[in-house]
Amino acid sequence: MKIVFNYYAQIRRAAGAETECVEVAAGATLLETLKTMDHGAEFAALLFDAAGAPQPVILYLVNGRAATPEQRLSDGDHVSVFSPVAGG
């Protein structure tokens, strides 16, 4: 199935792209899909801790609604990935 990822803030910088389309096996979860991506160490560190578990501070949306990494995806889903940002 094809999943569209939209990246924001630091995730966008680390991915080197605002958006990309990813192909994964039917029934894959968001976490399983993220683990197939290879955008380098900075991207991985934003999404996963040292043990490989998803960082709880990342905000995921699937088709505009809040989602967890364990959510199963469907063909054509749009996933938004936000890393935390602060102010000044």
Q: Does 70 bind other proteins (CB under 8 A)?
A: no
Would you say 1 or 82 has its CB closer to other proteins?
A: 82
Identify the residue whose tokens are 């995921």: 60
Would you say 25 or 88 has its CB closer to other proteins?
A: 88
55 close to 49: Cβ distance less than 8 angstroms = yes
Would you say 8 or 31 has its CB closer to other proteins?
A: 8
Query: What's the Cα-to-Cα distance from 29 to each of 1, 79, 85, rounded to whole Å?
Result: 11, 11, 26
Closest CA to 5 of 70, 44, 63: 63
Q: Does 10 bind other proteins (CB under 8 A)?
A: yes
The site for other proteins (CB under 8 A) is made up of 8-10, 13, 42, 45-46, 49, 55-57, 59, 61, 64-66, 80, 82-88
